[in-house]
Amino acid sequence: MLAQNTSKNAVDYLNQGLQSVQSGKVQDAIAAFGKAAQLDPTLAPAHYNLGLALRQAGQLQPAADAFYRATQADPKFALAYANLGGALLEGRNLQQANDYLQRALEIDPQLGVAHYNLGLVKQEQRDWEKAIASFKKAIEYSKNAPEPAYHLGMCYLQQGKIDKAKDAFSKAVKINPKYPEAHYSLGSVLYNQGKLQEALEAFRKSAQANSSYPNAYYGAGLVFIQLKQYADATKVLQSARDLYKAQNHLEWVSKTEQLLQQIQKMNYQPR
């Protein structure tokens, strides 16, 4: 009788934690999931959701530990292996991440997030072919996720397959029109192909998706320089510089400063 009560209390805490997550109270969720896992160490969803909450709070090692305990409680819990792999990837443990992701896919070969995380591991290892294969699988099994298409595009860029990269970025922004990095990458490809108005439109969409994303303004600045619209170029590049400064990207601050100085020279050349 006592064991049954303990289990019920653990499930109560699990549900309380899930409600806290929905309310955006991550620390409360961590406490509740921790209590649930403590009361019933065999309750895999308690460990798993604790891992998700810890990862959201940026606590990678405790998150990985929680996902690992979820796999111990339920050795067939494919999502727990997939997220354990993801946490280890963020912590730069690529070989361990790879092993757990392979385990996730042995259990569930159609688990999109495991294919995606495995693609990220291969991308980090600069194994473009294997990364591309994994991202394609992730796209197949996670049709509503834009990230696999974006990363697929980045791998194609590394291989110099520009048109394939462009198609992949286009796919990403079609799935999520508010994806700043994908709009920016699409804009960069278009810019390099000399399609300046299309590039400018992509950079605008990037800035609309995230007004604090400096690359969007930097890209727009490059287009305006090509179009000899120096006042517009100055305006967006100053925005880029200030954002880079605020985000401590000092190398990009100096690159942007150099462009602004070049514009001043171009602008004041005798006609």
pLDDT tens readout for residues 206-256: 999 999 999 999 999 999 999 999 999 999 999 999 999 999 999 999 999
Asked whether residue 246 is domain-assigned, the answer is yes
Write down the pLDDT at residue 269. 56
Region 103-111 average pLDDT: 97
Q: Classify 231 as helix, strand or coil.
A: helix
Where are any strands of DSSP class E within the chain? none
Range of the domain at 69: 10-75
Mean predicted lDDT score pLDDT of the chain = 93
Write down the pLDDT at residue 261. 94
Region 48-56 average pLDDT: 94
Residue at which a domain ends, from 75, 91, 119: 75
Residue at which a domain ends, from 34, 55, 75: 75
Region 44-48 average pLDDT: 95
Asked whether residue 152 is domain-assigned, the answer is no
Write down the pLDDT at residue 2. 40
Asked whether residue 252 is domain-assigned, the answer is yes
Separation CA 128–CA 209 (nearest Å): 28
Residue at which a domain ends, from 75, 91, 109: 75
Among 17-26, 112-121, 159-168, whose mean pLDDT is lowest? 17-26
Write down the pLDDT at residue 211. 95
Region 119-143 average pLDDT: 96
Separation CA 50–CA 57 (nearest Å): 11
Write down the pLDDT at residue 7. 53
The answer to whether the pTM exceeds 0.95 is no
Separation CA 100–CA 260 (nearest Å): 48
Number of domains in the chain: 2
Asked whether residue 260 is domain-assigned, the answer is yes
Asked whether residue 81 is domain-assigned, the answer is no
Write down the pLDDT at residue 23. 87
Separation CA 216–CA 170 (nearest Å): 16
**Using 50, 70 and 90 to split pLDDT, how confident is the model at 8?**
low
Q: What is the CATH number of the domain that holds 44?
A: 1.25.40.10
Asked whether residue 138 is domain-assigned, the answer is no
Separation CA 238–CA 240 (nearest Å): 5
Write down the pLDDT at residue 158. 95
Asked whether residue 247 is domain-assigned, the answer is yes
Q: Which of 111, 109, 128, 110 is nearest to 119 (CA)?
A: 128
Asked whether residue 143 is domain-assigned, the answer is no
